[in-house]
Amino acid sequence: MYLPRGLIGQLYQNLVKRNHAAAPPVLLLVALEPDALCACRILTALLRRDYIPHKIQPIAGYGDLNRAAEDLIRPMRTTQGGSGGVVVCLGVGGMVDLEETFGMEVDADGNGGTGDIEVWLMDARRPWNLTNVFGTPYGQDGVTGEWVRKRAGVEKGRIQQHYLSSKGGIIVFDDGDIEEELEAEREAYCALEEMPELGDEVESDDEDEDDARGDEPPSGQAPKKRKSWSEGDDSDDDMSDDKRPSQRRRSNSGGSIPSTPERRPPRRGLMILGGSSDFSRSDSRSRSTSPAVAAPKEQSVKSLRKQLMVMKEKHDKTLQKYYDRGASYSEPVSSLVYSLASELGREDNDLLWNAIVGVSSLELYGRTGSGVGLNPLSAAGGSAGWNGDRGERIRSVLRDEVRRLNPVDIKDLAREASMGDSTGVIPTSARSATDKSIRLSPEPRFLLLRHWSLYESMQHSPYLSAKLHVWNDSGRRRLDKLLAKMGVSLAQCKQYYTHMDMDLKRGLRERLLKFAPMYGLDGLVPPAPRGGDSKDGWGFVRCWGWKACLSAIDAGVILGAILEVGDAKSLSASSLDASNFVGAPAASTAGEAASQGGSATDVQDHVTARFYTAYDALADIDKLTAHIPTAQHLHRAILRTGTALIEKRQIRHLKAFRMAVVKEGPDVQLFTHPGALTKLALWIAEAIVELNGTKGRNRGSELVMAGLDERQGRYVVVGLGGGGATESAKERIAKREARTKAREQKKAAKAAEKQRKRQARIARLEAAGLDKDEVDDDDTEDEESEESNEEESDDEENVGKNGRNRFGNAFHEVVGETGARVRMDNFEACVIEIKKEDLSGFLERLSMKAVVG
């Protein structure tokens, strides 16, 4: 079921009303990423204000999710002696069938069900598993007592205003995309759910044929039962060591269908009206005996079955095309949870800051509306290019919230006019010792500017380093010339930015706007405000008195480093503590973990420790600033490793993508974490784009990065592709309508030719003794199939233009073809782990696949 955005406040209020002293705590399953972490902070603040007990469980991957389902969720079910409750998934499980994962299905014996467990699902990853979105939970019919998929207050998977939440089920929080974009998928899913089972229809058809043939002597051989729809062959090959649940939903009969719903009980005794007054079943080829009045022609069971097959195939293709589009990202989870707080009237600066940090963090990991990849709109300046128009609308709302919750005091107006936001000065200090306000700032695309020297901040900026080629001597000289043209000496720019000359800091933005375009750095700083107070591309800064001043991007960088590298105490001059890199994705079972030098308990302890370190740092500025060296260490390693790969020419160009492998050097262990490896891949991809120019289709953004974990004998592999500007829902709908009109014109042009062929076919088949009624049915079937094929090819063309990341689809295909030993435990579809010996064959086969759809 899915919850329209306008009802999210009502669902939370229902939870508050059901809360009491003996109520079970709300279980929060939180992904190990800054966006989900910030959403967790917002939601726990709401729960605390309403005195709702809750428990937080960090989830590193699908292995952790399965263990949480077994150890935490199943005991909550009323059928297992529990008292039910609410489970909130933040950035967890949107791409898998949570009903199956959490054991909320009903088996053949009628056991199971939701167990009064209600799951709130908020995830920015796409595609959705449509069973979560449109599937209705099992419930017992009040009259027959049978298990049916029907719930009061739910219409075709959509929760209505009068829905009462207390009986359990999966509730997906809609950010607006489900209502606007998935109407075709909704209709297809619900139509498949209401269709009868084909197997019984086949039996009825066979019985009719037996009646038509008359009494025949028994043959001694049992009649063969035809294969039903749900008994199709499973196309997903078994993969060794693969713990990631598939998007394909397994049916009761053992086959698999592309996340189509389970069928309702078959409708037996289908009645067909004939020429006589009774309702007995008659042969489809019988003619009326009355010469005056011709009886209406009836459709045979065979023709009805064919029509159902055509409809079923069309709906299946609709769902399969949705899954085949590739990965993408929608609204960040932190933004969605903040909208819940706003709906309740609970918003404040702390919750707003958490939402801003969560939204800003997605840019660091290349998460756009077209999947994980580069963003060509980044030249717009600042953060203006992230996620296209969708991202800019979200940031515009956040900027309005900043102005509303942080008005400028009257006594500070004069100070603001001279050195505040209106002049475009980059703020580095608070207005007073008690100032904790959030401000808008024209943030340049530098890294940790307030906590590094200007030179190091510019050098480690992925955007600037790629544009200037700072990995070689000529690029570093270009950086020196840029600073010289700006009038900034090397002595000034190599000391901490906060210690630089005040006049230089005040004029930095104007100098960058003047001289940066000479080096192709048009997007280095946001443009001047347009339309009065409009500050498109401007970032967000918050100060904590005289303690610290951080931008939202800096906070996201630090939180990500804590989750990817660990505690700053493990840093040493030479390397990091090896045990700090033991993570849940690296060992899924106790036996495997023990064989690799650690136990499953130690693995979970490391995951939990990292999560709570970042969780505490988000609310404690002292702890957050204490981990700035961790973030600096990580980005120094990215610059060193990326420079080494380019200088040693270790980036190979395969047919469909480029490939780079990190298997040596002092920082190799850092890049066994998928988040750190993704940041390195984004740095490499942007550098390659600049090296090879920006023209042509193959811009080098399709990249596969592999990081070697020598201790475990496997590679962590990240597929980078897609990215780019995303269309709004209205634009997609307009293009879809235009394609529909084009199809109609094409069909009208072919109408005469089709009619001629149809008449010829009817004459030919009638001459062979076939009834015209069945000829019409077959002809209709062919026309519907042709229309379906036209729609499919048209949609495939549209998907190709979107350029989404399809590495996840390609990984599954290659694993089935090569039998490579992989683990797909990460929530990112484009991240896998593969045995060291299988990497070369896997990549060779992968290079033949379409990795960007």
Distances (CA, A) of 654 to 662, 833, 842: 17, 20, 13
Cα–Cα distance measured from residue 678 to residue 430, given in angstroms and rounded to the nearest whole number:
34
Token digits for 271? 């009645």
**Helix or strand holding residue 720 (H, E):** strand 714-720
Q: What is the pLDDT of residue 572?
A: 45
Cα–Cα distance measured from residue 90 to residue 58, given in angstroms and rounded to the nearest whole number:
10
* Chain segment 279-336, per-residue pLDDT in tens: 333 343 444 444 445 555 566 778 888 888 889 999 999 999 999 888 888 899 999 9
Cα–Cα distance measured from residue 574 to residue 521, given in angstroms and rounded to the nearest whole number:
35
Cα–Cα distance measured from residue 292 to residue 434, given in angstroms and rounded to the nearest whole number:
98
Strands 703-709, 714-720: parallel, antiparallel or unpaired by DSSP?
antiparallel
Cβ proximity of 582 and 606 under 8 Å: yes
- Backbone torsions φ then ψ of 805, nearest 5 degrees: -75, 115
Cβ proximity of 411 and 392 under 8 Å: no
CB atoms within 10 A of CB 788: 17
Cα–Cα distance measured from residue 467 to residue 498, given in angstroms and rounded to the nearest whole number:
26
For the entire predicted model, the pTM comes to 0.79
179-180-182 Cα angle (round to 5): 70
CA dihedral 370, 373, 379, 382 (to 10 degrees): 90
Cα–Cα distance measured from residue 457 to residue 498, given in angstroms and rounded to the nearest whole number:
12
| Nearest Cα to Cα of residue 678 among 650, 705, 702 | 705
User: At residue 263, what is the residue type?
Assistant: R
Provide the 8-state DSSP code for 260: P
Q: Name beta bridge partners: 539.
A: 441
Q: What is the pLDDT of residue 109?
A: 63
Sign of CA dihedral 309, 311, 317, 320: negative
Per 3-state DSSP, the chain is made up of helix, strand and coil in percentages (nearest 5) of: 50, 15, 40
Cβ proximity of 383 and 539 under 8 Å: yes
3-state secondary structure of 708: strand
| Residues of the chain under the 50 pLDDT cut | 200-292, 378-380, 384, 420, 572-598, 694-698, 724-730, 775, 777-778, 780-781, 784-785, 788-802
Distances (CA, A) of 426 to 80, 330, 539, 550: 58, 30, 10, 11
Cα–Cα distance measured from residue 193 to residue 394, given in angstroms and rounded to the nearest whole number:
36
Cβ-based burial of 142 (10 A; exposed 0-12, middle 13-18, buried ≥19): exposed
User: Strand ranges (DSSP E) for 449-528?
Assistant: none
Which segments of 653-699 does DSSP mark as H helices, in order?
A: 674-692
Token digits for 616? 């505490």
Cβ proximity of 319 and 130 under 8 Å: yes
Provide the 8-state DSSP code for 297: P
Cβ proximity of 381 and 718 under 8 Å: no
| Nearest Cα to Cα of residue 43 among 337, 448, 369, 293 | 337
CB atoms within 10 A of CB 760: 10
Give residue for tokens 């064989």: 595
Interhelix angle 34-49/333-343, rounded to 10 degrees, is: 20
3-state secondary structure of 788: helix
Cα–Cα distance measured from residue 338 to residue 316, given in angstroms and rounded to the nearest whole number:
36
Distances (CA, A) of 489 to 455, 482, 502, 509, 691: 10, 11, 14, 16, 29
| Nearest Cα to Cα of residue 700 among 657, 661, 662 | 657
Strands 703-709, 658-662: parallel, antiparallel or unpaired by DSSP?
parallel
Q: Give the max Cα distance, the chain.
A: 108
| Nearest Cα to Cα of residue 101 among 278, 290, 249, 221 | 249
Cβ-based burial of 602 (10 A; exposed 0-12, middle 13-18, buried ≥19): middle
| Nearest Cα to Cα of residue 709 among 605, 608, 830, 823 | 823
Cα–Cα distance measured from residue 670 to residue 662, given in angstroms and rounded to the nearest whole number:
10
Cβ proximity of 853 and 800 under 8 Å: yes
Report the residue count for the chain. 853
What stretch(es) of the chain map to CATH 3.10.310? 639-725+805-846
Sign of CA dihedral 75, 76, 80, 81: positive
Contacts of 513 (CB under 8 A, 6+ apart): 525, 528
Cβ proximity of 656 and 704 under 8 Å: no
Q: What is the pLDDT of residue 288?
A: 41
Distances (CA, A) of 766 to 299, 773, 775: 17, 10, 8
Q: What is the pLDDT of residue 428?
A: 85
DSSP 584-634: GGG--SHHHHHHTTS-HHHHHHHHHHHHHHHHHHTT-HHHHHHTHHHHHHH
Token digits for 21? 């002293």
Contacts of 607 (CB under 8 A, 6+ apart): 32, 58, 60, 64, 583, 584
* Chain segment 145-196, per-residue pLDDT in tens: 666 777 778 888 899 888 877 678 899 999 988 998 999 999 999 998 888 7
CA dihedral 12, 14, 17, 23 (to 10 degrees): -80
Number of helices followed by number of strands (H, E) in the chain? 30, 25
* Chain segment 452-490, per-residue pLDDT in tens: 999 999 999 888 888 899 988 999 999 999 999 999 888
CB atoms within 10 A of CB 290: 9
Sign of CA dihedral 194, 197, 198, 202: negative
Provide the 8-state DSSP code for 18: H
3-state secondary structure of 792: helix
- In this structure, which topology does domain 639-725+805-846 adopt according to CATH? Diaminopimelate Epimerase; Chain A, domain 1 (3.10.310)
Cβ-based burial of 78 (10 A; exposed 0-12, middle 13-18, buried ≥19): middle
Token digits for 348? 């404040």
**Helix or strand holding residue 465 (H, E):** helix 462-468
Cβ proximity of 662 and 705 under 8 Å: yes
DSSP 299-358: PPHHHHHHHHHHHHHHHHHHHHHHHHT-BEE-S-HHHHHHHHHHHTT---HHHHHHHHHH
Strands 26-31, 54-59: parallel, antiparallel or unpaired by DSSP?
parallel
